[in-house]
Structure 1
Amino acid sequence: MQNDDLSVLRRRYVRYLRLERGYSDNTIEAYTHDIDYLLNYLRNENLKVEDVKLDNLENFAAVIYEFGIASSSQARILCGVRSFFKYLVISGILKDDPSELLEAPTVGEHLPEVLSTEEIDRMEAAIDLSKWEGQRNRAIIEVLFSCGLRVSELVNLKFNDIFEREKFLRIIGKGDKERLVPISDSALHEIQLWLYDRNLMKIKPGEQDYVFLNRRGAHLTRTMILIMIKRTAEEAGITKTVSPHTLRHSFATELLKGGADLRAIQEMLGHENIKTTQIYTHIDITTLRKEILTHHPRNIKENTDKQLI
């Protein structure tokens, strides 16, 4: 079945929910709303439903996470995805269910992973600069960590959004809200190095203004960057669960550790509500607790005494 027929599958699924499952209109609307996330992902990735594997669904789960959807909503969407694939198996469209082992996110307060500056340096050092995309990937990691951008903001970054002399980026965030984000000299330097390679590329019409491009001369997708970040972290020997959002969390955490005001961090991240930003105070307290337990003289003495027993 081709991607053009996904709308037909959707209609058949709605009919199944209504006639076979007997669901109410509100329930059907909720299920199909969640399935639309998946169908749009399949269209963007040019994937046929019969070719979908668990890896594709895990990437889809990562994409909706990167989009900033709440954990409870992610869990609901993935539940709908599993229901949809069960229908595909029952109806004979698929032989096997690729969503069978798809895990839902843990619902509740979640303190995201953060990377230290040393771990970011390790990731950048692990990049093979002899490859054409090497300098591009290095620049992407540096910009994400130095500016705390959402991955959607990075893929849409254009040259007229970079104010090199003033050292600011103009970012259009959620709800088309504009903000100015300072950019470091190191990030600007990595972008400049990438431009030497970029200028040698054949760029597709209409894509000339985008800063970061793929090898076909078109701007990148969220999924492309997610895969690159995960692969680079693995090559750097980092065992944490790392995504583009991890670099954004790390940016905010380093600012807080350095004494930045929470309101300033809120502005930098483009959070509409200060409560969203306050999660970084929990991260910092967690880090502080670890430091105290490791380095406070009372704890050092206690740990030494335990080793002697």
Structure 2
Amino acid sequence: MEFQEYLEERGKAENTIQTYLGHVRGYILWYEESYGQEMLQLYHVNILDYRSYLENIKRLKYNSIDAKLSALSSYNEFLIENGIQEEQVITAKDRLKFQQMIASPADIEKQEVDEFLQEVLVETGKRNYAIATLLAYAGLRVSESVNILLTDIDFQARELRVIGKGNKQRIVFINDKIIHAVRDYLKERKSQSEYLFVSRKGGKLHRSSVNRFFRQCSDRITPHKLRHFFCSHALKCGYSIPEVANQAGHSSERTTLLYTNTSRREMKEKANRL
């Protein structure tokens, strides 16, 4: 798909590309089912109808609708650049304004995280324990963790080079928990692969393997929840907002600000005082 190449040329992350492609395919399917003809270009009135369909029929949350419209906006730019249509039909006014979360996205506490990490160690081994510890105490994304090279980690400097979204590089500082976990894993690692975390066959580990051991060890904690935990916990431990944004690879500090909000637990406690 030419749109995929267009996104790749603009340095979009693989997950973002696949999400955008899915959103565009969803719109094309809706268009063809609604109007009985092939979709050749975008029309403003159709976009408004689609937005109404998502909001009132599908009952999607505003942030989900906004994500779909964002993908269509990029597709609109692609169509213009390729001479398929002339005007940008999706504007900022068309994007639904949605209320930012009042509660912090983090909903797990440190004790729960540490109990989960121990479960991972006991039930699935040192490699998975090292991965989960990295996610919890360095704030990495799963895609970032499986792409770490052996040469990216510097134990003496306590630094880790990470390639994030859009192939942006950052330096993440790592603590004793991570260093001990990774070193312990490396003692039993037997592979010539350049990647730090390898599969049983010795090749690069796939993100699906990470998701699999998370499901095995918890029906509540996910890799993304550990990332939320890191951001919230780091702020509580004295990190500044810019420091957390850098560690987690947030493109905007506004994302990091969400973690300064009251926790769900605290909000529920306050509700019981009413």
TM-score using structure 2 length: 0.62
CA distance in 2, matches of 1:170, 1:233: 29
**Structure 1: segments with no counterpart, 5+ residues:** 1-9, 28-69, 77-106, 235-239, 304-309
Q: How many residues align?
A: 199
Partner of 2:218: 233
RMSD: 3.4
Tell me the alpha carbon deviations over residues 150-169 of structure 1, each in whole angstroms, 9 at most, x when there is no partner: 11100101111001100010
Q: Which amino acid aligns with 1:250?
A: F
CA distance in 2: counterparts of 1:290 and 1:17, whole angstroms: 45
How is 1:1-309 mapped onto 2 (pairs within 5 angstroms)? 17=32, 21-26=36-41, 71-72=64-65, 109=100, 112-127=105-120, 129=122, 133-199=124-190, 208-234=193-219, 240=220, 242-282=221-261, 285-286=262-263, 289-290=266-267, 293=270
Counterpart secondary structure, 2:161: strand
Question: Percent of aligned pairs with the same residue?
Answer: 30
- Contact 1:71/1:108 (8 A) holds in 2: no
Q: Distance in 2 between matches of 1:220 and 1:175?
A: 21
Q: How far has the Cα of 1:292 moved from its partner?
A: 6.7
CA 1:74–1:217 in 2, change beyond 3 Å: closer, same or farther? Answer: farther
Q: Secondary structure at the match of 2:108?
A: coil
- The Cα shift of 1:134 comes to 1.0
Partner deviation per Cα, 1:235-280 (whole Å, 9 max, x = no partner): xxxxx3x321111110000011123211111111111211122211
Greater RCO (Cα-Cα under 8 Å, separation 6 or more): 2
Unaligned runs of 5+ in 2: 1-24, 43-62, 70-97
Closer, same or farther in 2 for the Cα pair 1:114/1:230, shift >3 Å?
farther
Amino acid in the other structure paired with 2:263 = T
C-alpha contact (below 8 Å) 1:142/1:190 kept by paired residues = yes
State the Cα distance separating 1:148 from its structure 2 match: 0.3
| Aligned residue identity for 2:251 | E
Instruction: List 4+ stretches of structure 1 deviating above 2 A.
Output: 70-76, 107-115, 286-294
C-alpha separation between the residues in 2 aligned to 1:121 and 1:252? 16
- Could you give the per-residue CA deviations for residues 197-222 of structure 1, whole angstroms, max 9, x where no partner exists? 212x5x5xxxx111111112121222
Residues 214-236 of structure 1 show CA distances to partners (whole Å, capped at 9, x for unaligned) of 112121222221121122124xx
What TM-score, normalized to structure 1? 0.55
Structure 2 letter corresponding to 1:23: E
SS state at 1:263 partner: helix
Q: What letter matches 2:256 in structure 1?
A: T
